[in-house]
Amino acid sequence: MKHAIRTIGRLISCLTITALVFTVTACKDKAGNTTYKHLERAWGEKQDSVKLSIDFPDYTDKRVNEAIAEQMSEAIGGTYEGSYADPDSLITHYTTNFRKEIEAIRQELAEYDMPSDWAYTQDLLIKKGYETDRLVTFTFREYNYSGGAHGSNKAYGMTFRKSDGRRMGTDVLNQTVNDEGWIEMRINGLMKYFDVKNEKDLTACLLGLEVYEIPAPSAQPYFTEEGLTFIYQQYEIAPYAAGMPSYTIPYDQLESYLNVTGRRLLAE
The answer to whether the beta carbons of residues 266 and 258 sit under 8 Å apart is: yes
pLDDT > 50? residue 14: no
Strand, helix or coil for residue 154: strand
Q: What is the identity of the amino acid at 244? A: M
> How many angstroms separate the Cα of 153 from the Cα of each of 3, 53, 59, 95?
10, 16, 30, 18
pLDDT (tens digit per residue) in 88-125: 999 999 999 999 999 999 998 888 888 788 899 999 99
Residue-range domains of the chain with CATH: 17-168 (3.30.565.40), 170-266 (3.90.640.20)
Question: Mean per-residue pLDDT for 84-90?
Answer: 97
What angle do helix axes 87-111 and 62-76 make, rounded to 10 degrees? Answer: 10
The answer to whether the beta carbons of residues 7 and 125 sit under 8 Å apart is: yes
Task: Identify the band that residue 76 occupies on the pLDDT scale cut at 50, 70 and 90.
Answer: very high
Distance CA 133, CA 136 (A): 8
Residue 239's pLDDT is 96
Residue 113's pLDDT is 84
User: Which alpha helices (DSSP H) does the chain contain, by range?
Assistant: 62-76, 87-111, 180-194, 199-204, 251-254, 260-266
Residue 5's pLDDT is 33
R_g over Cα of the chain: 20
Distance CA 4, CA 99 (A): 10
Distance CA 115, CA 47 (A): 13
pLDDT (tens digit per residue) in 196-248: 999 999 999 999 999 999 999 999 999 999 999 999 999 999 999 999 999 99
Residue 244's pLDDT is 97
β-pairing, 135-145 vs 34-45, is unpaired
The 8-class DSSP code of residue 7 comes to: -
Residue 112's pLDDT is 87
pTM of the model: 0.87
Structure-derived torsion over alpha carbons of residues 78, 92, 128, 153, reported in degrees to the nearest 10: -60
The answer to whether the beta carbons of residues 206 and 190 sit under 8 Å apart is: no
Number of other CB atoms surrounding residue 210 within 10 Å: 10
111: phi then psi, degrees, rounded to nearest 5 = -65, -30
pLDDT > 90? residue 146: no
Question: Mean per-residue pLDDT for 58-86?
Answer: 97
User: Average model confidence (pLDDT) for the chain?
Assistant: 89
